[in-house]
Amino acid sequence: MRIFPLFFILLLFFHKTPAQNKMNTFVANLMSKMTVDEKIGQLNLVTPGGAVTGSVVSTDVDNKIRNGQVGGLFGITGPDKIRQAQDIAVKNSRLKIPLIFGLDVIHGHRTIFPIPLGLSCSWDTAMIRKSAEIAASEATADGLNWVFSPMVDIARDPRWGRIAEGSGEDPFLGSQIAKVMVQGYQGKDFSGNKNALACVKHFALYGAAEGGRDYNTTDMSRISMHEYFLPPYKAAIDAGVGSVMSSFNEVDGVPATANKYLLTDVLRKQWGFKGLVVSDYTSVSEMIAHGIGDLQRVSAEALKAGLDMDMVSEGFLNTLKKSLREGKVTRAQIDSACKKVLEAKYKLGLFDDPYKYCSTERFNNEIFTEENRKAAREFATHSFVLLKNQNNVLPLKTSGTVAVIGPLADSKFNMLGTWSVSGDHSKSVTVLEGMKNAGAANILFAKGANLTDDTALAKRVNAFNKQVDIDSRSPDEMLKEALDIASKSDVVVAVVGEGADMTGEASSMSNISLQPSQQRLLQELVKTGKPVVMVLFNGRPMTIPWEDKNVNAILSVWFPGTEGGNAIADVLFGKYNPSGKLTTSFPINTGQIPAHYNRKNTGRPFDGNVNAAKFKSNYLDVSNDPLYPFGYGLSYTKFNYGDIKLSKTSLKGNETLTATVTLTNSGSFDGEEVMQLYITDPVATVTRSLKDLKGFKKVALKAGESREVSFKITPDLLKFFNSNLKYDWESGEFFIHIGTNSRDLKSAKINWVK
Ligand code: BGC
CATH number, domain of 415, equals: 3.40.50.1700
Q: Strand 532-537 relative to strand 553-556: parallel, antiparallel, unpaired?
A: parallel
**pLDDT (average), residues 523-534:** 98
Do 455 and 539 belong to one domain? yes
Q: How far is the CA of 280 from the centre of ligand 1 (A)?
A: 6
Residue whose Cα lies nearest atom 7 of ligand 1: it is 53
Full domain range(s) for residue 400:
370-592
Q: Mean pLDDT for the chain?
A: 96
Query: Would you state the pLDDT for residue 500?
Result: 96
| pLDDT the model gives residue 2 | 47
* Residue 461 in domain: yes
Does residue 481 sit in the same domain as residue 565? yes
561 and 643 inside one domain: no
Q: Assess contact for 197 and 132: CB atoms under 8 A.
A: no
Confidence band, pLDDT 50/70/90 cuts, at residue 709: very high
Same domain, 668 and 573: no
- Please state, in angstroms and as integers, the Cα–Cα distance from residue 657 to each residue in 278, 632, 684, 689, 730, following that order: 42, 26, 20, 21, 16
* Same domain assignment for residues 552 and 652: no
Q: How confident is the model at residue 56 (pLDDT cuts 50, 70, 90)?
A: low
215 lines ligand 1 (CB under 6 A): no
- What is the reported pLDDT for 16? 72
Rounded to whole angstroms, how far apart are CA atoms 287 and 259? 11
Whether 551 is covered by a domain: the verdict is yes
Report CA Rg, the chain.
27
Shared domain check, 728 and 649: yes
Q: Given this model, what pLDDT does residue 1 score?
A: 40
Q: Which helix (H) or strand (E) holds 387?
A: strand 385-389
Q: What is the mean pLDDT of residues 575-587?
A: 98
Handedness of CA 469, 472, 476, 478 (dihedral sign): negative
Looking at the structure, do residues 587 and 658 belong to the same domain, yes or no? no
Give the domain-ending residue among 592, 610, 645: 592
> In this model, does residue 239 exceed pLDDT 80?
yes
Same domain, 657 and 512: no
Asked whether residue 431 is domain-assigned, the answer is yes
Q: How many domains does the chain have?
A: 3
Average pLDDT over residues 247-265: 98
Q: What's the pLDDT score for residue 464?
A: 87
Ligand 1 pocket, residue 157 CB under 6 Å: no
Distance of alpha carbon 52 from alpha carbon 46, whole angstroms? 11
Considering the domain boundaries, does residue 19 fall inside one? yes
- For 549, the 3-state DSSP assignment is helix
Are 324 and 303 a contacting pair, CB within 8 Å? no
Which atom of ligand 1 is nearest to 151's Cα? 9
Identify the pLDDT of residue 600.
96
Q: Looking at ligand 1, which residue's alpha carbon is closest to its atom 6?
A: 281
Q: What is the pLDDT of residue 58?
A: 78
Distance 75 CA to ligand 1 centre (A): 11
What's the burial of 66, exposed, middle or buried (CB within 10 Å: 0-12/13-18/19+)? middle
| Shared-domain flag, residues 557 and 660 | no
**Domain limit, last residue, from 564, 592, 620:** 592
162 lines ligand 1 (CB under 6 A): no
Residue 53 CA: which ligand 1 atom is closest? 7
Q: Which of 558, 592, 626 is the endpoint of a domain?
A: 592
Query: Which residues are catalytically annotated?
Result: 280
For residues 580 and 643, state if they share a domain: no
What is the structure's pLDDT at 55? Answer: 66
Binding site membership of 201 for ligand 1 (Cβ less than 6 Å): yes
Cα–Cα dist 738/753, whole Å:
22
Residues 693 and 568 in one domain: no
- Does residue 418 share a domain with residue 494? yes
Mean pLDDT of 250-271: 98
Cβ of 505 below 6 Å from ligand 1: yes
Mean pLDDT across the stretch 357-364?
Answer: 98
Name the 3-class secondary structure at 590: helix
- Say if 104 falls within a structural domain: no
- Give the separation between CA 182 and CA 149, rounded to whole angstroms: 8
**pLDDT (mean) for 209-230:** 98
| CATH number of the domain to which 643 belongs | 2.60.40.10
Work out the average pLDDT over 712-730. Answer: 98
Nearest Cα residue to atom 11 of ligand 1: 281
Q: How far is the CA of 281 from the centre of ligand 1 (A)?
A: 6
**pTM metric for this prediction:** 0.97
Q: Looking at the predicted structure, is the pLDDT value of residue 9 above 90?
A: no
Distance 199 CA to ligand 1 centre (A): 11
Q: Of all residues in the chain, what percent carry a pLDDT higher than 90?
A: 95
Residue 6 has pLDDT above 80, yes or no: no
- The sheet carrying 671-680 orders its strands as 650-652, 745-753, 732-739, 671-680, 692-701
Q: Does the pLDDT at position 11 exceed 80?
A: no
